[in-house]
Amino acid sequence: MPQAAAAPPATTGVFAEIEQQLRAKHGPDVSGFELLDRSDDGLRWRLALIDSAQQSLDIQYYIWFGDGTGTLLLKRVLDAADRGVKVRLLLDDLNSLLKDAGTVMLRDEVFAMIDSHPNVELRLFNPWRNRNLFGRIGETLADLDRLDQRMHNKAMIVDNRATILGGRNLADEYFGFSDDFNFHDLDVLGFGPVARQASSVFDLYWNSRWVLRVSELGFAFKPADVRVARERMTQELTQLPAFARYAIVPQSWYSEFATVASRLKTGTSEVKSDVPDDSGIRQDMTEVLYQMGGSAQRELLIVNAYIIPDERFVAGLRDLKGRGVEIWILTNSLASHDVPAVNSHYKTWRKPLREASSGLYEMRHDAQIQSQVVDSPPTKAKFVGLHSKGMVVDRRHVFIGSMNFDPRSASINSEMGVLIDSPKLAEELAARIKRDMAPANSWRVEVESDGAIIWINDRETVTRQPARGFWQRIEDVIFMAFPRNFY
């Protein structure tokens, strides 16, 4: 497959203007950043970037569901392509057969229709050659080691001037629109050199042997159906009450960008990733985060949805604590978990993690921030779960990305994230993490003198791990028998 590179930075448009302002005031190496921890902000700024693209749009994601959120984003991407924006879509193939009832699903026929647009190229990471369900199952059994390696990266890069990086996939539950549960998640919006850094990672994957063009997989579709499918997307979006406050057609966002430009937190950055090569996925991200966390001199704040540590992880925390570093950790409780298999292996490390840190906190499934930050009105989900992956070192250095602290992220999936040197951004993220650790939002885990573990919030203290119900406790026991990376 011929090598391809990101388009050069656009010379006109709002993103070029923002970067020119940053460069004039802070120099050529500095980018501007805005945290996106509210679900509605996560969607709003993605739409703003897509609608404001003039030249190029590169999108790399693990999950892009065919639900309301996925349909709205896909429509706006195709609208951008209609006006001449060159679009590159790089999606992991694992979830390509999934759909949400009543909405457009990103199945093979739709992949082919998307790729047929003259301004769009769609590639799939590590695809199944057998496209039907039973063919996939057979291929998985025959080549499990390869097909178990998925691209967990998340990035959107526009005009090579602006980017969104972080933990959100493209699906309703990541933006507050699921009636079942919604994730509390974390992204960062960036302008400047950080976009080119993200483009370098995108190109690395786009040109790797792990990726195939959709056109090479021989997906079938009827060209006459493209127009009908796009009309159906619009019709379906008009019938989703939860999306009533989001315009279906592209909008002008100039005033919003003018406002955000005035409040950007400036700093330098490095976008890091695991490296796909001919022999497999070179797992670099684990060492990147060990080095960053190990550099702490005063304080280390960690928020990570899925933690299954090992002795090296805990020993590193003990060493930092022994040197006087305050360590604060926020993760999921069993009650807030969408993946009980993770909790089944995390729970054996609760006591060591608490003893090696200054404080261990677990997200409440009924967290107060659900109505304030997580759910997008009028949606009210049954519970909230944590999906964020972030770190703050000494109120100066920030990590935001896709990587969990678990065996799958460390040694199987590919991951990416951005390291940012920005005291103001670090202070802001630290304040958000501390807010999420408050008793109204999380359980504080403590170890009593007799070794028993208790959970404390603003209403009660309990002596067994919080859960949403009896069946969740049963799942927690069952998954203890499965491998640590089984999820």
Over residues 106-132, the pLDDT tens digits come to: 578 889 999 999 999 999 999 988 887
Taking the C-alpha atoms of residue 201 and residue 456, their distance in angstroms, rounded to an integer, is 42
The rounded percent of the chain whose pLDDT value lies above 70 is: 97
What pLDDT does 1 receive? 60
The CATH class for the domain spanning 283-481 reads alpha beta
Please enumerate in sequence order all residues whose Cβ is within 8 A of that of 301, keeping only pairs 6 or more positions apart, or say none. 328, 391, 392, 393, 429, 430, 433, 434
Residue-wise pLDDT tens digits, 372-428? 999 999 999 999 999 999 999 999 999 999 999 999 999 999 999 999 999 999 999
pLDDT class for 29, splitting at 50, 70, 90? very high
Please enumerate in sequence order all residues whose Cβ is within 8 A of that of 279, keeping only pairs 6 or more positions apart, or say none. none
Identify residue 300 by its one-letter amino acid code.
L
Residue with tokens 């409040």: 263
Residue 184 has pLDDT above 90, yes or no: yes
333-to-43, 250, 340, 391 alpha-carbon distances in Å: 26, 39, 9, 19
What pLDDT does 103 receive? 38
Residue 104 has pLDDT above 60, yes or no: no
Mean pLDDT of the chain: 94
Domains 14-262 and 283-481 share a fold: yes
Residue-wise pLDDT tens digits, 341-372? 999 999 999 999 999 999 999 999 999 999 99
Taking the C-alpha atoms of residue 337 and residue 317, their distance in angstroms, rounded to an integer, is 24
Closest CA to 420 of 199, 165, 93, 125: 165
Residue-wise pLDDT tens digits, 413-456? 999 999 999 999 999 999 999 999 999 999 999 999 999 999 99
How many Å is the Cα radius of gyration of the chain? 22
Taking the C-alpha atoms of residue 344 and residue 476, their distance in angstroms, rounded to an integer, is 5
pLDDT class for 101, splitting at 50, 70, 90? very low
CATH 3.40.50.10440 fits 14-262, yes or no: no
Mean pLDDT of 195-203: 98
What pLDDT does 99 receive? 55
Start-end of H helices in 84-168: 108-115, 133-142, 144-147
Q: Name the residue ranges covered by the structural domains of the chain.
A: 14-262, 283-481
Q: What is the pTM of this model?
A: 0.96
